Each structure stands twice: as C-alpha cells, then as structure tokens.
Amino acid sequence: MYVLGIETSCDETASAVVKDGREVISDTISSSLEFHQKYGGIVPEIAFRRQLETIAQVVDCTVKEAGIKLRDIAVVAVTEQPGLLGSLVVGLSFAKGISMAAQVPLLGVNHLQSHIYSVFLNQQKINFPFVALVVSGGHSSLFYIEDFREIRLLGETLDDACGEAFDKVAQILGLGYPGGPLIERLAQEGDAGKIKFACSRTKKPLDFSFSGIKTAVLYYVRQLTGSPVNRLKNRQTAKLPNRQTRDIAASFQETIIDTLLEKSLLACKVKKTKALVVGGGVSANNRLRQKFLEVTTEEGISCFFPEKKFCTDNAAMVAGLGYWLFKGGR
Ligand code: KG4
Ligand code: ZN
C-alpha cells in the first residue's frame, strides 16, 4: 500500500511515497534555507511563500519518481502540528486538494511523533514499548510509546529547544545557521573537558532547560573578548582564536549530550524499559550517536537512531506514520 506524505512544518517543502509504512520509494526535499541564512534563523514569511511556490512541483516530482500514478496512492498523510502556522496551512491545503482529487482519505499527523517514527523507515524491527527522545530545532521531549496511538509525554524543555541552543551558540561564536552541524564539525578538534559548562537543573527530573547554558557560553565569550553582551547578541561575531572556538564548541556539545543521555537513561529506568529511540535534527550528531550507543550498551539498553537522512525534517516519516495510524483505524 502506497502512502503519500507531505511535510511543511518549518522551512522545508517535502513529500515522499512510502510502501507499507517502511519502504521509502521516493523522497523529495526542497529547502528555502539559503533565503534565511542572512537572518540567522528561519523567517516564517519567507518560508511559507517559498513553500507555496514549490509544493506542486515537489509532490509531482515525488510521485513521478516513485513510478506510480496518483490513483495508486491509498492515503495522503500530512503534518498538521506543531510548526509554523503559514507553512502548515500550505501543506495541509495542498494535501486536502490531492486527497479530494485522488478520492482517498486524508490523515493529519503530529510532527514530533513522525520524528519518532523515522527510526522504522528502511530498518529493523523495534518492539514496543520504548522511550523516545525527540531533539529538534523546536522541541526537546521525552515520551513513553506503548504504540503510536498511546503516547505519554514524560518531560519537555522549559525554555529553548536543544537544536535551538546549538543554533544560538553557533550564532554567538559567529559560525552561521543552522548551528548544529557547524558546532559538531568544530567540536571534533576541540577539547570537550576544557570548559565546565552545565545545563540548568529542572524541578521535574525529566524536563530540560537549555537557556542557561546558552547564556553561560555568551558570558564566557564576552569574558574572553571583552565584548558587551548586547553586541554579541546582535550577531557580532565573537572573533576568538580558532582553538578557543573549538574548545567552546566541544565543551558545550558534550554537556548537552551528557544531559540528554542522563535524562534518557532515567526515563528508561522509570518506565522499566530496555529500548530507547532518538529522533529529530540533533540525532544526526555523530558524537551524540556514538556516546548514546556506548553508554546504553553498557546499561543493557537497545538504542535506535534514524538513518542520517531521516533525522532532519522529511516527508517519508510522515507517510510511514500515516500508514501505521491508518492501519490502526485512524
Ligand atoms: O528536526 P529538524 O530538522 O527541524 C525541527 O523540527 O526543528 O531539526 C533542526 C535542528 C536545528 O536546530 C539544527 O541545528 C539541528 O537540528 N541539527 C543538529 C545537527 N544537524 C541538525 N544539531 C546538532 N548536530 C547536528 N549534526
Ligand atoms: Zn522536525
């Protein structure tokens, strides 16, 4: 059974055809990133205008590449929330049109749940129940998944999302946007034990807080450069020697990873489960993947990641989850 997935929750315009919930037949992503880069983050107005311009072409290309006709599609699945309002409306409206034209059901899916589902694409079987950590540019949450119709939120960020912290620290260091991959690259050559950063403690142990560590980096950089905080906030580059920038990137990244790991292990312990799934843009980080795998193996927990290409926003995860929910009676 073929499901067409459509995803427009942030800056991407993505569509995919997935067979039986797992086999990705075609997968197209058009990003408007280059139009946002000079602003240091996503500008919603630019994002949805680009999506409006490209969506028909993207979906057409995906269906053609899959070697199928519109009438072969059994369900249209689309991201309905959370995300940028204008962007979601573009995807939803287009998906509605396609479902009416092809006379097939339309199914709205949750963006965070589809990030969790991304581990099932083209991969081995994972048994329920499991704990899921979603770390993206807009969210950082821990869930307990009995199945995709029975999802319990265990904890979430009280302020910045994890990817957002990477993006803001990259901005402080004058690296560019999106910050995650840039920090990861620099961190490879830095000393992660050089600077003692810490994530703020939270009242509920499974919640997250990343705003404090971002500010700690800002003050650390200010101390090194003697620049006023406001100037750095206004995207003045920090202009630190390369070695210092690498050490800051490595120390920051390691602290974030340790915090995510500690809370994920705690969630597994609380829920008495031996399976952990990690999804969302930050799960593409190699150091995170390596450390999670090392430590969970020591703890006797099986840890699963999506393929790299399915960590960041894509429509294959939307189509996959759509199939699963449809088969389950949604
Ligand atoms: O899941 P995603 O594509 O979009 C949202 O749903 O938000 O995640 C994007 C976020 C950005 O903040 C980006 O900096 C971060 O994921 N990211 C990374 C890496 N690749 C992307 N963070 C750390 N390391 C990476 N390799
Ligand atoms: Zn996402």
Please spell the DSSP secondary structure of 179-240, one letter per residue: HHHHHHHHHTTS-TTSS---PPP-SSTT-B--HHHHHHHHHHHHHHH---HHHHHTT-----
SS3 305: coil
Q: How far apart are CA 162 and CA 284, in angstroms?
A: 13
Residues in contact with ligand 1 (CB, 6 Å cut-off): 10, 136-138, 163-164, 166-167, 178-181, 184, 280-282, 284-285, 312-313
Peptide bond connecting 181 to the previous residue in cis, omega within 30 degrees of 0: no
What pLDDT was estimated at residue 228? 63
Q: Which ligand 1 atom is at minimum distance from the Cα of 139? A: 7
Q: How far apart are CA 288 and CA 183, in angstroms?
A: 12
Residues 6+ apart with CB under 8 A from 161: 135, 136, 137, 138, 139, 140, 210
Ligand nearest to the CA of 283: 1
What pLDDT was estimated at residue 230? 53
Q: How far is CA 126 from CA 100, 119, 152, 180, 290, in A?
A: 34, 9, 18, 27, 19
pTM for the model stands at 0.94
Angle at 151 between CA 149 and CA 153, to 5 degrees: 160
Mutate to test the pocket of ligand 1, among 312, 313, 317 (most ligand atoms within 8 A of CB): 312
What pLDDT was estimated at residue 234? 45
Q: How far apart are CA 169 and CA 249, in angstroms?
A: 8
Sign of the dihedral through C-alpha 160, 161, 165, 170 = negative
Per-residue pLDDT of the chain (330 residues; tens, 9 = 90+): 999 999 999 999 999 999 999 999 999 999 999 999 888 889 999 999 999 999 999 999 999 999 999 999 999 999 999 999 999 999 999 999 999 999 999 999 999 999 999 999 987 789 999 999 999 999 999 999 999 888 999 999 999 999 999 999 999 999 999 999 999 999 999 999 999 999 999 999 999 999 999 999 999 999 988 876 555 454 445 567 789 999 999 999 999 999 999 999 999 999 999 999 999 999 999 999 999 999 999 999 999 999 999 999 999 999 999 999 999 999
Q: Which ligand 1 atom is at minimum distance from the Cα of 177? A: 14
CA 213 / ligand 1 centre spacing (Å): 17
Q: Atom 8, ligand 1: which residue's CA is nearest?
A: 281
Residues 6+ apart with CB under 8 A from 82: 9, 110, 111, 112, 138, 139
What pLDDT was estimated at residue 96? 98
Q: How far apart are CA 173 and CA 156, in angstroms?
A: 26
Closest CA to 328 of 115, 118, 193, 150: 150
Tell the residue number behind the tokens 């003697």, with chain if given: 226
Asked if 111 and 83 count as a contact pair (C-beta separation under 8 A), the reply is yes
Q: Give the residues across from 144 on adjacent strands.
A: 131, 152
Q: Atom 16, ligand 1: which residue's CA is nearest?
A: 281
What pLDDT was estimated at residue 125? 84
Q: Atom 14, ligand 1: which residue's CA is nearest?
A: 180
* DSSP state at residue 309: G
CA 110 / ligand 2 centre spacing (Å): 10
Q: Which ligand 1 atom is at minimum distance from the Cα of 170? A: 14
